[in-house]
C-alpha cells in the first residue's frame, strides 16, 4: 500500500495593497489537517504551510509530487486569495504576491498543473478553496468565461479536483462569529478515504 501525503497551504495575511486579510484560512487548514491526520479517518502524513512566500509554497509542492509511486495518494489543499490576469490565468496568492507581477510572486496554477502531470501517482487530489478556483488549470479561459470546462480540463488518470467556485465566482469568507468557511467542514464530514 502506498503512502498518503497531504500539503495544506493557507494564506490570510498579504503584503500587497488591495488584498484584504482573511479570517478563515488558518482555521480551515487546521481543521482539515486534524481530520486528514486521524488514523481512524484518513491517516495522511500532513505538512501545513501558513502565510509563507511563493517560493516556499513552490518548494513544498515540488516535494509533494517528487519521487512518488503509482500507489501513493497525494492531496494538495489551498485556501486564500486567488487572482486572474486579463488572459484568464489563475494565480494562488501567497504572502509576498505583487498584483503587478503575479507570475513571479505567487503560485501560478499552470505550474501546479504541470507538477501534478509529472507526478507518477495515479491518485492525486487538489482542493482549491479560493475565488476563481474553477479556472484551474490556468491559461485556458478568458477572464469573463463563466464555464468551468471541467471535462476538458481535468481528464487524466487519477486526478480529482474540488473547487469552491467556478472560473469567475468569488469564494466567501464566514460571517462574524464563525472562524471556518463551509467547504472544509463539509469535506471533513463527507469524504471517505
Residue 60 sits in a domain whose CATH number is 3.40.50.1460
pLDDT at 35 over 70: yes
C-alpha cell, 33: 489537517
- pLDDT at position 169, please? 39
For the chain, the distance separating the N- and C-terminal CA atoms, rounded to the nearest angstrom, is 13
| pLDDT level of residue 149 (50, 70, 90 thresholds) | very low
Max mean pLDDT among 75-89, 120-134, 147-161, 163-177 falls in: 75-89
Structural domain boundaries, residue 22? 4-190
How many domains, in total, are found in the chain? Answer: 1
| pLDDT for res 79 | 95
What pLDDT does 159 receive?
85
Structure pTM?
A: 0.80
Q: Where do runs of H (alpha helix) occur along the chain?
A: 25-37, 54-65, 102-105, 109-118, 150-153, 182-190
Stretch 171-192: mean pLDDT, rounded?
49
Q: How far is CA 138 from CA 38, 104, 112, 189, in A?
A: 33, 15, 9, 30
Residue-wise pLDDT for 77-86, tens only, equals: 999 998 888 8
Q: What is the mean pLDDT of residues 151-160?
A: 60
- The whole-chain average pLDDT of the chain stands at 81
- pLDDT at residue 171, as a whole number: 42
pLDDT tens for 50-65 read 999 999 999 999 999 9
Q: Which residues pair with 126 in a beta bridge?
A: 76, 161
Amino acid at each position: 500500500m502506498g503512502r498518503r501525503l497531504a500539503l495544506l497551504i493557507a494564506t490570510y495575511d498579504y503584503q500587497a495593497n488591495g488584498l484584504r486579510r482573511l479570517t478563515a484560512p488558518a482555521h480551515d487548514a487546521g481543521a482539515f489537517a486534524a481530520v486528514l491526520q486521524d488514523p481512524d479517518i484518513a491517516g495522511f502524513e500532513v505538512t501545513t504551510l501558513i502565510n509563507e512566500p511563493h517560493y516556499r509554497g513552490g518548494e513544498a509542492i515540488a516535494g509533494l509530487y517528487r519521487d512518488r509511486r503509482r500507489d501513493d495518494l497525494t492531496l494538495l489543499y489551498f485556501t486564500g486569495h486567488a487572482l486572474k490576469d486579463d488572459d484568464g490565468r489563475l494565480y494562488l496568492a501567497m504572502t509576498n504576491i505583487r498584483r503587478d507581477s503575479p507570475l513571479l510572486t505567487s503560485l501560478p496554477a499552470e505550474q501546479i498543473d504541470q507538477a501534478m502531470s509529472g507526478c507518477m501517482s495515479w491518485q492525486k487530489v487538489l482542493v482549491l478553496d479560493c475565488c476563481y478556483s474553477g479556472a484551474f488549470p490556468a491559461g485556458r479561459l478568458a477572464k469573463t468565461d463563466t464555464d468551468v470546462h471541467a471535462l476538458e480540463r481535468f481528464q487524466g488518470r487519477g486526478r480529482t479536483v474540488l473547487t469552491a467556485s467556478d472560473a469567475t465566482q468569488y469564494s466567501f469568507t464566514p460571517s462574524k462569529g464563525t472562524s471556518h468557511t463551509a467547504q472544509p467542514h463539509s469535506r471533513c464530514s463527507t469524504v471517505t478515504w
